Structure formats: structure tokens, C-alpha cells
Amino acid sequence: MADAGRDGSWDVAVVGAGPAGSAAALAAAQARPGARVLLLDKADFPRDKPCGDGIAPHALDVLAGLGVPDAAAGYPPVGRLELGFPGGPVAAGDMARPARVVPRRVFDARLVAAAQERGAVLRRQQVREVAVLADRVLLDPGTPEQVAARVVVAADGAHSLLRRAVGMPAPRRVAFAVRGYAPAPAGAAAQVIAFGTARWPSYAWSFPIGDGWANVGYGEPLVDGAALSRRRLVEGVEELLPGAGGGARDWRGHHLPLSTGRARQPDGRVLLVGDAASLINPVTGEGIYYAVLSGSLAGRAAAMAEEPGGTYRRLLRSHLGAHLRSTDAAAALSRSPRLLGAAVRGAAADARVFADLVELGLGRGVLTPRALAGVLRGAGPLAAGAPTAGPLAARRTARRAPL
Ligand SMILES: Cc1cc2nc3c(=O)[nH]c(=O)nc-3n(C[C@H](O)[C@H](O)[C@H](O)COP(=O)(O)OP(=O)(O)OC[C@H]3O[C@@H](n4cnc5c(N)ncnc54)[C@H](O)[C@@H]3O)c2cc1C
């Protein structure tokens, strides 16, 4: 285990041990074996984090590259995705590569343990103050818990204290979502997403874990920061996926700071990753892939670079720049339920359009000419592809009229 240096300072201190923070610690240790890496979290692990628990294959690729090939071990692949409006249209198909559904209590603890195995030191501490000096960063300066580090990775989530400390603005677009765990319908083998047309863009999901339970939830954007009633959010699941939330327990909610097309990262010694950097897909709410990718890039820059902030910013833009511009455009287009309906029709009619849109929603795909053409074609009558069975199709007659 690499402890603090003789002067009590660390090469890299990571605040927040979610997927972004653990990935940063793993990457720093990988890039510079023997580096003194401190991982701080206000919670003890294992800990819960309200989430849909859907892990895209891209996230598992990043983790495998960091020497953690088994983050989803024991949780079966979920290859099928069904998405659309409860009254139709609906698109369903096999994803190019399956996702996994791993409760965050398990997933995050596995990543923390892997980071510790690589030498990172885990300490329970809620960071309350930050001082950025010319040659180092102090966390909780002047207290018995003071930490001095050459570089700090801010992986402290949606309400990031460090983001505010380095003067970065609050996220421009924020959503709020609740999740619960419900008994999964017998034979459930697809991730199901049902879009709403009220309080747009809103959607409910049911993601089978593979152990007889499903992660179910509902989210919608916050308008002018106004609080949302938890009861109404839970009702959103029932409204869009009737029955899916029956018998659900452990309802919890959390904010989602949505990406707005450009990851912002100042020069200097504090690197923002994951939710602290507002890296959540504005169309699908997926954030775990971005968290581990940004964490791994920041960890590498923190361990190696003379000017870590600028180096990390360039790495982030080269990996995600084109993709984030595309998700921003897709978010603007999908603000109209009619256009999203056209996209669903386009995906239902053409498996390649389906694949392109899934890659945009879960990975780092861009809006391809083929996908755009599919959306345009979808603006006409539904060509094909709407399932006659399944959670969304089964309810088509009971819900709103088709778009
Ligand atoms: C209901 C819901 C459903 C979602 N579903 C999905 C999904 O299915 N798939 C997907 O990919 N994404 C999903 N997301 C998004 C995903 O949960 C986040 O993008 C992801 O958790 C970001 O990881 P992170 O490491 O940046 O932050 P977090 O996972 O939030 O971790 C931040 C850590 O920082 C710690 N911390 C915070 N402040 C301090 C402090 N001051 N000092 C010390 N420690 C601190 C916290 O305890 C926490 O452990 C969902 C989000 C919500 C709310």
C-alpha cells in the first residue's frame, strides 16, 4: 500500500469513491505504479446509490482496461432493449453488445476494493473545504483531517463541493429520478424504457437484474429548480409501465446533472469527473460509462501530467467531444415527443438505425446520417417493427392514443 509521502502529502487525492472516483484511482495507480493515491468518501462501503443500475458494455471495457475485468461478474447479460411510448410507437431489438444490471451497492464496492488492491488508500472523510495553492491542493485545511495533494480529482457527484470550489458554474440542465427494486415479471429478459408525453422529456424504466428482481424507476427534468414530489415520481412508473413497480421497495431519488454538449474543465490541479462534471447523457440518463471513462482519463493525467487540468481537458474532448455535441443535438431534437416518436419509428423499421441510436444513448456514438435519415423516414407512417408482445406492446391499447 502506497502511503502519504514523508511530508504527509499525496500524489493524487480523489474525492468521492463512486465509479468515477474508483476509476480515477485505478488509472493513477496503473499509469504510475507506486503513486501515492488517496480515495476519500463520506460514506462507508458498500453503500447504495440511487441509480437504474444499467451498466453499458462500454463501461465494462474501460474497467477491463484498468485491470478490472469482473466488475459485473455473476450478473447475466441483458441483450434486448424495448423502448417507446406506451400507446406506441415501440422499437425493440437486440443491442450490438449486452448490458448488465448490477446493483450499485455491489458494483461500486467492487471498484473500491479493486482500487485498494492496486494500492489506493481508502479513507472515510466528508470533505468540506478546499484551498487551491500554487503547488498543491489542500482538503479541509487547518483541520486534523487536512490532506495535501499535488492533484485532486473531484468525483464527488451531482452536488459537487469541489466544482463550486474551483468556480465552475452549476449544471444548466438537471433531472431528478427515483428508483426502487420490484419483483421482476417471470421471464423478463429485456430492458424496457417507456417515454411519457407529459412533463417532457420523462421516462420510466424496468431493468431486470437476473436474480428475480428488477430495478424500476421514473425521472423527469427539473424546471427552474422546482422540487418534485416523490409520490408523484413513483406514480410515474405506474403511469408509464403499469404493474412494473408492484411490490417495489427501497425507493430512493437523486439528481442527474445532464451534459450540455461540452465538458468544461479548468486548467490547474482540480480535475472534474463523472457527475461532478455534469457528464450524464441528456437523452438516456446514462452516466456510469462517462464516469469511468472520465475518471480513467483524469487519473492518468493526474499521475503523469505537468499541467493536469489542460491535459485532462484535451483527453476528454478527444474521447467525448464529437459524441457530446451529438447528444446535445439529440436532446434538442427529442425535446419534441413527436420527433422522438419519429426516432422510435425509424429504429423500429431499420435495425441499423436502432443500433446507431443505442450507441448514441449508451456509448459514444454520434448522430449518423443513417440515423437522421431513419428519423426522417419515421416521421411518416410506422413502417414495421412494433412488437405485438412485451411490456410496452401489451399496454398499447390501455394508454394514450398513438402519436
Ligand atoms: C435514479 C437514477 C437512475 C440512473 N440510472 C442510470 C443507469 O441505469 N445507468 C447509468 O449509466 N447511469 C444511471 N444514472 C446516472 C448514474 O447514477 C451517475 O451518472 C453515476 O453514479 C455517476 O458516478 P459518479 O462516480 O460521478 O458519482 P456518484 O456515483 O454519485 O459518487 C459520488 C461519491 O462521492 C461521495 N461524496 C460526495 N460528496 C462528498 C464529499 N464532500 N466528501 C467525500 N465524499 C463525497 C458520495 O458519497 C459518493 O460515493 C442514474 C441516476 C439516477 C439518479
Whether 381 shows a pLDDT value over 60: the answer reads no
CA of 272 relative to ligand 1 center, distance in Å: 13
Domain contains 245: no
For residues 259 and 280, is the Cβ–Cβ distance under 8 A? yes
Does residue 21 have its Cβ closer than 6 Å to ligand 1?
Answer: yes
For residues 153 and 299, is the Cβ–Cβ distance under 8 A? yes
Whether 362 shows a pLDDT value over 90: the answer reads yes
What mean pLDDT is predicted for residues 43-62? 98
Rounded Cα distance, 358 and 221, in Å = 21
Does residue 15 have its Cβ closer than 6 Å to ligand 1?
Answer: yes
Burial of 134 (0-12, 13-18, 19+ CB in 10 A): exposed
Domain contains 212: no
Express as a percent the part of the chain with pLDDT over 70: 93
Domain contains 202: no
Rounded Cα distance, 258 and 279, in Å = 6
Domain contains 349: no
Ligand 1 pocket mutation pick from 15, 41, 284, 362 by most atoms within 8 angstroms of CB: 41
Rounded Cα distance, 158 and 381, in Å = 40
For residues 47 and 108, is the Cβ–Cβ distance under 8 A? yes
Domain contains 109: yes
What is the DSSP-derived secondary structure letter of residue 170? P
- Residue 177 CA: which ligand 1 atom is closest? 1
Contacts for 59-65: CB closer than 8 Å, 24+ residues apart: 59/19, 59/288, 59/289, 59/291, 59/292, 59/293, 60/100, 62/23, 62/289, 62/292, 62/293, 62/296, 63/23, 63/26, 63/111, 63/292, 65/296
Domain contains 379: no
Domain contains 348: no
Domain contains 316: yes
Q: What are the tens digits of pLDDT across the range 182-200?
A: 999 888 889 999 998 877 7
Give residue 39's domain range.
9-47+104-171+260-328
Q: How many folded domains does the chain comprise? A: 1
Rounded Cα distance, 77 and 150, in Å = 40
What is the pLDDT confidence band of residue 5, given thresholds at 50, 70 and 90?
Answer: confident
Cell, residue 186? 417471470
Q: What are the tens digits of pLDDT across the range 330-344?
A: 999 888 888 889 999
What is the pLDDT confidence band of residue 393, given thresholds at 50, 70 and 90?
Answer: low
- Residue 16 CA: which ligand 1 atom is closest? 34
Rounded Cα distance, 279 and 293, in Å = 10
Cell, residue 66? 484498468
Does residue 275 have its Cβ closer than 6 Å to ligand 1?
Answer: yes
Scanning 98-197, the segments in alpha helix (DSSP H) are 104-117, 161-165
CA of 398 relative to ligand 1 center, distance in Å: 35
Does residue 302 have its Cβ closer than 6 Å to ligand 1?
Answer: no
What is the pLDDT confidence band of residue 400, given thresholds at 50, 70 and 90?
Answer: very low
What is the pLDDT confidence band of residue 397, given thresholds at 50, 70 and 90?
Answer: very low
Which sign does the torsion angle of CA 204, 206, 207, 213 carry? positive
CA of 42 relative to ligand 1 center, distance in Å: 13
Lateral strand order in the sheet of 90-101: 54-55, 90-101, 78-84, 190-195, 203-208, 213-221, 173-183, 249-258
Rounded Cα distance, 39 and 115, in Å = 9
Give the CATH number of the domain where residue 321 resides. 3.50.50.60
For residues 24 and 155, is the Cβ–Cβ distance under 8 A? yes
The closest alpha carbon to 256, from 45, 62, 60, 52, belongs to 52
CA of 18 relative to ligand 1 center, distance in Å: 6
